[in-house]
Structure 1
Amino acid sequence: MFITERNRSKQHVYFETLSGRADLDRKEAADLGRYRSGYSGECEYDAVLDAVGHDNLFVFRDIWLRVGGAEVQFDALIVADNVLIANEIKNYSGNYSYENGVWRVRGQQISEDPVSQLGRAAGKLVKLRNESGFQFDIEKEIVFINPYFIFGGDAGDGGSRQFIMRNRLKQYFRSLGNHTSGRSAKILSEEIAGRIIADPYPVPETDCGRLRLGANCFKCGIFDVEMKRFVSVCRGCGYTETVERLVVRTVVDFAVLFPGEEVTKKKIFDFLGESVDLQRIQRLMKKYFPIVPNSSRTHYRVADNNPVKILTGGGYSSHYEHDPEFMFEMHPRINKLQANYL
Structure 2
Amino acid sequence: MSFIKHRSKPDELKVLESLNERMNLSVKEKNDLSNLAKGFEGEQKFDEWLITLSNDWNILNDLRFDWNNTYYQIDSLSLLSETIHLFEVKNYEGDYYIENDTWYSVKGLEINNPFLQLMRAESLLRRFIKNLGFKYSIESYLIFINPEFHLYHAPRNQQIIFPTQLPRFMNNLSKKTSKIAKNHTQLIEQLLSSHLTKSPYKRIPKYTFDSLKKGVVCMKCRSFINSFRKISLVCSQCGYKESVTSAVLRSIDEYMILFPEKKITRSTIQEWCKIIPKKTLQKILSNNYEQIIDGKNTHYIVCNKSFN
Q: What TM-score does the superposition give when structure 1 sets the normalisation length?
A: 0.78
User: What is the CA–CA distance in structure 1 between the aligned matches of 2:220 and 2:259, rounded to whole Å?
Assistant: 23
Work out whether 1:15 is the aligned partner of 2:16. yes
Aligned to 1:328: none
Aligned to 1:126: 126
User: What is the CA–CA distance in structure 2 between the aligned matches of 1:248 and 1:101, rounded to whole Å?
Assistant: 50
Spell out the pairing of 1:37-56 with structure 2 (5 A cutoff). Answer: 37-50=38-51, 52-56=52-56
Cα displacement (A) at 1:63: 2.1
Greater shift, 243-252 or 277-286, is seen at 277-286
Change (3 A) 1:238 1:155: closer
User: What is the CA–CA distance in structure 2 between the aligned matches of 1:176 and 1:292, rounded to whole Å?
Assistant: 52
Aligned to 1:64: 64
**Aligned Cα root-mean-square deviation (Å):** 2.7
Greater shift, 114-123 or 73-82, is seen at 114-123
Aligned to 2:108: 108
Percent identity at matched positions? 25
Work out whether 1:184 is the aligned partner of 2:196. no
User: What is the CA–CA distance in structure 2 between the aligned matches of 1:310 and 1:21, rounded to whole Å?
Assistant: 25
User: What is the CA–CA distance in structure 1 between the aligned matches of 2:41 and 2:113, rounded to whole Å?
Assistant: 20
> Which one of the candidate residues 149, 171, 188 is aligned to 1:174?
171
Cα displacement (A) at 1:161: 4.1
User: What is the CA–CA distance in structure 1 between the aligned matches of 2:70 and 2:300, rounded to whole Å?
Assistant: 31
Change (3 A) 1:310 1:37: farther
State the AA in 2 paired with 1:25.
S
User: What is the CA–CA distance in structure 1 between the aligned matches of 2:286 and 2:131, rounded to whole Å?
Assistant: 44
State the AA in 1 paired with 2:242.
E
Aligned to 1:75: 75
Cα displacement (A) at 1:102: 0.9
**Could you say what secondary structure the match of 2:89 adopts?**
strand
**Could you say what secondary structure the match of 2:63 adopts?**
strand
**Could you say what secondary structure the match of 1:266 adopts?**
helix
User: What is the CA–CA distance in structure 2 between the aligned matches of 1:195 and 1:46, rounded to whole Å?
Assistant: 22
Greater shift, 117-126 or 197-206, is seen at 197-206
How many residue pairs match? The answer is: 302
Point out where structure 1 has 5 or more consecutive residues left out of the alignment.
304-308, 314-342
User: What is the CA–CA distance in structure 1 between the aligned matches of 2:306 and 2:196, rounded to whole Å?
Assistant: 21
Q: Check conservation: 2:53, 2:173, Cα contact below 8 A.
A: no
State the AA in 2 paired with 1:185.
H
User: What is the CA–CA distance in structure 1 between the aligned matches of 2:264 and 2:155, rounded to whole Å?
Assistant: 54
**Could you say what secondary structure the match of 2:9 adopts?**
coil
User: What is the CA–CA distance in structure 2 between the aligned matches of 1:294 and 1:116, rounded to whole Å?
Assistant: 54
Cα deviation code 1:208-265 (max 9, x no counterpart): 4542212333333333432122222333333322111111011011122223322322
Work out whether 1:163 is the aligned partner of 2:160. yes
Cα displacement (A) at 1:180: 1.5
As a proportion of its length, which structure holds more strand? 2
Cα displacement (A) at 1:48: 1.9
User: What is the CA–CA distance in structure 2 between the aligned matches of 1:189 and 1:46, rounded to whole Å?
Assistant: 19
Spell out the pairing of 1:1-342 with structure 2 (5 A cutoff). Answer: 1-50=2-51, 52-106=52-106, 108-156=108-156, 160-177=157-174, 178-180=176-178, 182=180, 183-201=182-200, 202=202, 203-273=204-274, 275-290=275-290, 297-301=297-301, 311=307, 313=308
Q: Check conservation: 1:81, 1:184, Cα contact below 8 A.
A: no
Q: Check conservation: 1:17, 1:256, Cα contact below 8 A.
A: no
Q: What TM-score does the superposition give when structure 2 sets the normalisation length?
A: 0.86
Q: Check conservation: 2:29, 2:205, Cα contact below 8 A.
A: no
Aligned to 1:340: none
**Could you say what secondary structure the match of 1:197 adopts?**
coil
User: What is the CA–CA distance in structure 1 between the aligned matches of 2:295 and 2:65, rounded to whole Å?
Assistant: 32
